[in-house]
Amino acid sequence: EGSNAESGKKTLTVYTESGFKPFSYLDKGEVTGFDIDLIDAVLSEAGYEYNLENVGWESMLASVQSGEADLAIAGITMNEDRKQTYDFSQPYFESTHKIVFREGEQITSAKDIKGKKIGVQTGTTGAEAAEQIVGNNDKSISKFESNSLAFMSLQSGDVDVVVTDNVVANEYVKNNPDANLDMITDSETFESEFYGILLPKDTALKEDLDQALQTIMENGTFEEIYQEWFDT
Ligand code: GLN
């Protein structure tokens, strides 16, 4: 682990999982996305240098728990379950779930996924949302290591629907106009949730991140990054 000569702060190890466009994804082999720009702004504001590592979803979570990673960002929802094991920064983005399906499937509310072959990303809040409808580990549910793999399986016809985060669903449907996909949300069933930066428990880093996040939310930097990714 290096340290930044000027500030005396150590160089952080930041993990992400790039199957989550537009928050974290690969563009010509480079990790990019809203979350990548956001963490860059937060850490620069907080005076940290960092190395970004792109890993799988489950190893990302495990590495933050063990402290091998100092933090992770990838549209990670703050929920009670994870708060037992991790700390989170202040929230930075509101989200809910959507159901993406091939045009022609009769799906007008969340409960219509019953009887369908359902694709989700393993260990996500989307997986939980689907399980709340059809039952835990119901055999109609296929769990994929990444959200991108769940979407591929939808396009190939291996699953009928994918339950995932709304902004990621919007992005995928927009970017795949020839796939004949449709989507719905269901505010009666799917609750609103918030993304936060994931941290090991009880670090001093959390306060630095929260302060920097607050600063960039007040000084217009957050808004600039937001506009760049979502309002153009
Ligand atoms: N927001 C979802 C969760 O935290 C999915 C995140 C992701 O796939 N990167 O469970």
Task: Determine the pLDDT at residue 199.
Answer: 98
Domains and CATH numbers, the chain: 12-93+194-230 (3.40.190.10), 97-185 (3.40.190.10)
Q: Is 190 in the pocket of ligand 1 (CB under 6 A)?
A: no
> Element (H or E) spanning 15, and its range?
strand 12-16
Tokens representing residue 65 in the block: 């728990």
Q: Judge whether 122 and 57 are in contact, CB under 8 Å.
A: yes
Residue 189 pLDDT: 96
At 8, which helix (H) or strand (E)?
none
What is the structure's pLDDT at 5?
Answer: 63
In ligand 1, which atom is closest to the CA atom of 24?
Answer: 9
Q: For residue 185, give the amino acid letter.
A: T
Task: Report the candidate in 129, 155, 152 with the shortest Cα–Cα distance to residue 141.
Answer: 129
CA distance 231 to 44: 24
C-alpha–C-alpha distance, residues 161 and 172, integer Å: 13
pLDDT of residue 7: 72
Q: How far is the CA of 177 from the centre of ligand 1 (A)?
A: 24
Of the candidates 44, 42, 74, the residue with the CA atom closest to the CA atom of residue 211: 42
Helical segments of the chain, H only: 34-46, 57-66, 80-83, 125-134, 147-156, 166-175, 205-218, 221-230
- Report the chain's C-alpha Rg in angstroms: 18
How far is ligand 1, taken at its centre, from the CA of residue 164, in Å?
8
* Best probe residue, ligand 1, of 165, 192, 195, 197 (max atoms within 8 Å of C-beta): 165
Would you write out the chain's pLDDT as a tens digit for each of its 232 residues?
566 666 778 899 999 999 999 999 999 999 999 999 999 999 999 999 999 999 999 999 999 999 999 999 999 999 999 999 999 999 999 999 999 999 999 999 999 999 999 999 999 999 999 999 999 999 999 999 999 999 999 999 999 999 999 999 999 999 999 999 999 999 999 999 999 999 999 999 999 999 999 999 999 999 999 999 997 5
Question: Is the complex ipTM more than 0.95?
Answer: yes
- Of ligand 1's listed atoms, the one at least distance from the Cα of 128 is 10
pLDDT recorded at residue 88: 98
Residue with CA at minimum distance from ligand 1 atom 10: 124
Structural tokens at position 119 = 């694709």
Q: Which two tokens stand for residue 123?
A: 């260990």
